[in-house]
A and B are shown apart, each in its own frame.
Chain A
Amino acid sequence: MASTSFIDLSRFQFATTAAFHMTFPALSVGLALFLVICYASYCKTDNPIYLQMFRFWRNIFAVGFALGIVAGIVLTFELGLNWGGYSRAVGPVLGPIICLEALTAFFLEAAFIGILLYGEGRVSRKVTMVATCLVALGALLSTAWILAANSWMQTPAGYKEINGQFQPTSWYHVIFNPAFVWRFPHQVLAVLISASWFIAAIGAYYLLKHRAAQFARKTMSIGLLAASLLLPIQLYVGDSTASYVSAVYQPAKVTAAEGNFANGNTGWNVIVIPNQAKQRDDFTLSIPHAGSVFVFHNFSGTTPVPGLTDFPKALQPPVWPTFYGFKLMIFAAWGMFSVAFIGLIMRLRRRMFTERWFLRLVLWTMPVGVFATIAGWVVSESGRQPWLVYGKLLVANSPSSLSTGELIATLVAFWVVYLVLFGAWVRHVAREVRKGPEELPPNSTDTASAGPATPSPARPPVPVGTE
């Protein structure tokens, strides 16, 4: 069996590469749907502003999407590279699910992203529309399969164990395992909210800069509207996910997320300094009685929240990441909810596009949705520890036999490569945003249906949306 530090390194490597990957789907799934909305509106209304929005967001979408793909390829290989024991054990159950992801989602996205990005002028509007829809469908399918596979690790079902391997007995139960049913909508909502917030923030940026007013209003309006519709649903689904999946199937996860070691606290901890070695909190700041309201929905506030000492020390999840991941997610969700609510009021009073402090608030909270999504994954994954397949396969029994040197070399390389790429991606987005939508002509080459196209001038003189 591998040493603890070796396992921690492997774990750290997987966690950071997965978090890096997650940043991009968190935006591109929602952006893909946003592109569908833009292009559909364009097809329906013929209003060139929608084509301009489509082209602008497509440029930002393209690079993030590519990064998501390549970072995702890394994850599929890492399972076998670093976690040989795990991949041998779960291959028969999870392998086919990820195969299905490749077949139904990756090929679909890959085939039609080319048409979406470079097809204008070659194919008709209708084909572009279909291609855009299929790319979005692929992104959603991909989310579904990944959530099915990950949820099976949280609440394994429909299998039997033979010779140290999980062999499926019912595919229905494997795929629609108890956690999947709640976690899939939770994740879809999370990525849609993240993307809408990002989109709204970019709209707010142009409004603050007094640029491309028409474009900016439409962009911010759609983004914020989507967020304010989805956030209340997400608060309900998220709460159900926690109370149904975690409380029923993984009580230790909920306990770690609440940050209590001892039993009897009815309060809701806002800040704790956990001391897992001594099995107590060195410091707690909590809201009295709120714990039993939030966790058990008991409005008398008298049900105590259970503590981690109910579980053997070796089977406790780490409190630091689970607790603070959970708090970050919750506070981000509440924060966005409040801002979206204010936005709704301002919209009714017709001041949403002019009130500068509000625009600044939206702009500066741009990445909050993505943070919340990643924090949620931190909760679900670190809260599952020390299990890889909950209750069945320990992380300690799962790594490949590698030399520590190999592991450190790739870990460092991943960090360097990912930091460089992330920097380049941020620069690219910043550059596209600064360049603005004004230069993207809504009048040029969308003409395959109308006979031979004339090549567009490189810098068209018709800025739409500037006033």
Chain B
Amino acid sequence: MVFFWMVVLLLALLTYVILDGYDLGIGTLTLFERDGDTRRGMLEVVGNVWDGNESWLILLAMGLWAGFPDAYATALPGLYLPLSLMLFALIFRGFSIEMALQRPGFDRVWGRLFGLGSLVSAFAQGVLFGGLLTGITVVNHGFAGRPWDFLGHGYALLTGCATVLLYAWAGAAQLQAKLPVDERRGASRRVRLLTGPVVLVCALSASLLPVATKARLRLDGVDRWLPFGYALLIAAGAFYVAWRWAGRTPKQVSFFAIAAAEAAGLLALVCLYFPQLVAPSVTIYSAAAGRSTLVFLAAMIGIIGPGTVAYGIYAHWVFRSTPPALNVAEPPPAANGRSALSPSN
């Protein structure tokens, strides 16, 4: 039961990183896009999906609270500052995108705030993930460290930068498929451009982790080193594929490759950390709620989960192609072959 719920939470985390990762990345990229129409297009790509993507963050947080209350009650106070920063940035971002979309064209104030909010959210998420990886001091079921412990002598800043770059990379890969056809070239160029820096910071973060962390990292036993090895191979392969397919059809390959790389990275970390949840002292077994709670959660996921995923996919499918220009002042160019204004059913 404990293991089952851990897998559910890991899947929620992965889904969140893949989905909100790309929309935070697109938000960050609006800061570097000069063309007004393209920026507007980017906002619209995010506008349809952001709240659905952020629902995974709530599920993740509440799933952690329900299934592993001790972890929730120690990790959150331990990561107080970066988490609060993330919340403020997410608030601004969510509000400003709706405000920006209510107005025609690219709204300077709200559009900028949206980009900045996305950048800061991504950075804060990287920082708090780094803080979690380096370890949190826990005494008697409560956080017992100092406010700035999460920095881990600066390691968290590195993971913060890594996350910003990774998300921007995923965002660019998603834009390749979602923007109007004639505006996709810039996105493809960004995918290729970002590959190098992403590989660099990810490799640097990974190699510094053993030095920076207070956790007990283990690779003994075939059940740890074999999946770990596979994960590294998959990640390396996925990085290559994402780079190679930038700007080629089918458009979605780069994005799925990046998602695979993120999954592989998470798998590698699980191999190293299991069963530590809030390293080094809180494990999934010491933090787990009672059996009655876990059974209830499993039943709930089993019954409601599939429906949730099904209509989530439907909602993405409705907006699978270029967004319609209902909120834009002028109609989209007629040359746009797959115009969204053609009926979708």
- Give the interface of A toward B (CB within 8 A): 59, 62-63, 66-67, 69-74, 76-77, 79-82, 84-85, 87-96, 98-104, 106-115, 117-124, 127, 162, 164-165, 167-169, 171, 400-403, 405-406, 409-410, 413, 417, 421, 424-425, 428, 432, 445, 448-449, 451-453, 455-456, 458
Query: What are the interface flags for B50-80 relative to A under an 8 Å C-beta threshold, 1 for contact and 0 otherwise?
Result: 0111110111011101111110111111001
Across the A-B interface, the 3 shortest Cβ-Cβ residue pairs:
A95-B66, A91-B69, A80-B76
Choose, from B160-168, B173-181, B258-266, B314-322, the stretch at the interface. Answer: B314-322
Pairwise interchain contact B73-A87, C-beta atoms closer than 8 A:
yes
- Known contacts A400-B77, A448-B344, A455-B331; A121/B324 CB under 8 A: yes
Contact of B318 among A87, A92, A115 (CB under 8 A): A115
Given contacts A102-B55, A425-B95, A453-B341, 8 further A-B pairs with CB under 8 A are A73-B58, A84-B77, A99-B59, A99-B62, A111-B311, A123-B344, A424-B95, A452-B342
A-B contacts, 6 listed (Cβ < 8 Å): A73-B57, A77-B76, A80-B73, A87-B72, A113-B51, A168-B296
Pairwise interchain contact B289-A92, C-beta atoms closer than 8 A:
yes
Main secondary structure of the interface of B (DSSP, over half): helix
Contact of B312 among A70, A98, A111, A124 (CB under 8 A): A111
Interface status of B206 (Cβ within 8 A of chain A): no
Pairwise interchain contact B69-A165, C-beta atoms closer than 8 A:
yes
Pairwise interchain contact B329-A458, C-beta atoms closer than 8 A:
yes
**B87 to chain A: which residues have CB within 8 Å?**
73-74, 77
**A405 to chain B: which residues have CB within 8 Å?**
147
Choose, from B211-219, B226-234, B300-308, the stretch at the interface. Answer: B300-308
- Known contacts A87-B69, A120-B326, A400-B76; A70/B94 CB under 8 A: yes
**A113 to chain B: which residues have CB within 8 Å?**
51
- Shortest CB distance A372–B (Å): 25
Contact of A92 among B90, B147, B293 (CB under 8 A): B293
Pairwise interchain contact B55-A114, C-beta atoms closer than 8 A:
no
- Give the interface of B toward A (CB within 8 A): 44, 47-49, 51-55, 57-59, 61-63, 65-70, 72-77, 80-81, 83-84, 87-88, 90-95, 97-99, 102, 104, 141-144, 146-147, 289-290, 292-293, 296-297, 300-301, 304-305, 308, 311-312, 314-315, 318-319, 323-327, 329-332, 340-345
**A456 to chain B: which residues have CB within 8 Å?**
326
Per the bound structure, the CA–CA distance linking A96 and B67 in Å amounts to 8
**B80 to chain A: which residues have CB within 8 Å?**
81, 400, 402, 406, 410
Pairwise interchain contact B77-A402, C-beta atoms closer than 8 A:
yes
Pairwise interchain contact A110-B91, C-beta atoms closer than 8 A:
no
- Shortest CB distance A374–B (Å): 19
Per the bound structure, the CA–CA distance linking A102 and B342 in Å amounts to 34
- Known contacts A87-B69, A118-B324; A70/B90 CB under 8 A: yes
**A114 to chain B: which residues have CB within 8 Å?**
47-49, 51-52, 315, 318-319
Per the bound structure, the CA–CA distance linking A79 and B72 in Å amounts to 9
**A413 to chain B: which residues have CB within 8 Å?**
84, 88
**A124 to chain B: which residues have CB within 8 Å?**
345
Per the bound structure, the CA–CA distance linking A90 and B324 in Å amounts to 46
- Known contacts A102-B59, A123-B344, A421-B95; A81/B88 CB under 8 A: no
Q: Which of B75, B289, B312 has the most CB of A within 10 A?
A: B289
**A410 to chain B: which residues have CB within 8 Å?**
80, 84
Pairwise interchain contact A111-B52, C-beta atoms closer than 8 A:
yes
Pairwise interchain contact A63-B91, C-beta atoms closer than 8 A:
no
Per the bound structure, the CA–CA distance linking A62 and B327 in Å amounts to 13
Pairwise interchain contact B343-A452, C-beta atoms closer than 8 A:
yes
Per the bound structure, the CA–CA distance linking A113 and B311 in Å amounts to 12
**B315 to chain A: which residues have CB within 8 Å?**
110-112, 114-115
Pairwise interchain contact B58-A118, C-beta atoms closer than 8 A:
no
- Known contacts A102-B55, A112-B315; A167/B290 CB under 8 A: yes
**A73 to chain B: which residues have CB within 8 Å?**
54, 57-58, 87, 90-91
Per the bound structure, the CA–CA distance linking A215 and B324 in Å amounts to 27
- Shortest CB distance A24–B (Å): 11
Pairwise interchain contact B102-A118, C-beta atoms closer than 8 A:
no
Pairwise interchain contact B57-A85, C-beta atoms closer than 8 A:
no
- Known contacts A81-B83, A123-B344; A118/B95 CB under 8 A: no
Pairwise interchain contact A118-B323, C-beta atoms closer than 8 A:
yes
Nearest-neighbor residue (CB-CB) of B315 within chain A: A111
Per the bound structure, the CA–CA distance linking A79 and B66 in Å amounts to 12
Contact of A87 among B54, B65, B83, B293 (CB under 8 A): B65
- Shortest CB distance B288–A (Å): 9
Nearest-neighbor residue (CB-CB) of A448 within chain B: B343
Pairwise interchain contact B84-A92, C-beta atoms closer than 8 A:
no
Pairwise interchain contact A118-B47, C-beta atoms closer than 8 A:
yes
Pairwise interchain contact A84-B76, C-beta atoms closer than 8 A:
yes
Pairwise interchain contact B61-A66, C-beta atoms closer than 8 A:
no
Nearest-neighbor residue (CB-CB) of A97 within chain B: B66
**B93 to chain A: which residues have CB within 8 Å?**
70
Q: Which of B58, B81, B325, B342 has the most CB of A within 10 A?
A: B58
